[in-house]
């Protein structure tokens, strides 16, 4: 039993190692069928068109040292904002302003409006909710 499994495994390995294995194209019920073995007498050998394939070959890394990826520089205003401590009063004011704007949009959505105005209100509500998530308002 073990010998049969080993022989079977080796046969699969030898087929998988062959990098330039032939590919055959046969006519199937639902269109063309591609296989690594001829499907019948009418099987055509299919040549792969790799002219449109782009292959990236990275530069060789130095031995013993990985090449560090350079992080993107944050924008100048984000760096300045990150450097100073957060102001809780300013954060609360911004959150209150966003909450009020959302209430105003919801109030307008409860009244009658046309299709164009409704789409504009939905987009504005989406923008305000996204801004609220970014600002981490509760």
How confident is the prediction along the chain (138 residues), in pLDDT tens digits per residue? 454 445 445 455 444 444 457 888 888 888 888 888 888 777 778 787 777 888 888 888 777 666 556 666 666 666 666 666 678 888 899 999 999 999 999 999 888 888 899 999 999 999 999 999 988 887
Contact 99, 137 (CB under 8 A): yes
Nearest to 106 by CA among 132, 86, 92, 126: 126
For the chain, helix (H) and strand (E) counts, in that order, are 4, 3
User: Domain locations in the chain?
Assistant: 86-135
Q: How much is the pLDDT for 16?
A: 47
The CA distance from 138 to 133, in Å, is 8
Contact 109, 118 (CB under 8 A): yes
């Amino acid at each position: 039993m073990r010998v049969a499994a080993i022989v079977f495994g080796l046969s699969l390995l030898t087929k998988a190692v062959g990098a330039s294995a032939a590919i055959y194209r046969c006519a199937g019920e639902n269109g063309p069928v591609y296989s690594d073995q001829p499907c019948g007498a009418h099987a055509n050998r299919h040549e792969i068109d790799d002219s449109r394939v782009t292959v990236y070959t990275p530069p060789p890394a130095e031995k013993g040292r990985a090449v560090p990826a350079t992080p993107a520089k944050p924008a100048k205003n984000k760096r300045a904002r990150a450097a100073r401590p957060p102001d809780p009063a300013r954060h609360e004011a911004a959150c209150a302003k966003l909450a009020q704007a959302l209430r105003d949009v919801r109030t307008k959505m409860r009244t009658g409006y046309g299709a164009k105005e409704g789409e504009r209100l939905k987009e504005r509500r989406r923008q305000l909710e996204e801004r609220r998530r970014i600002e981490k308002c509760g």
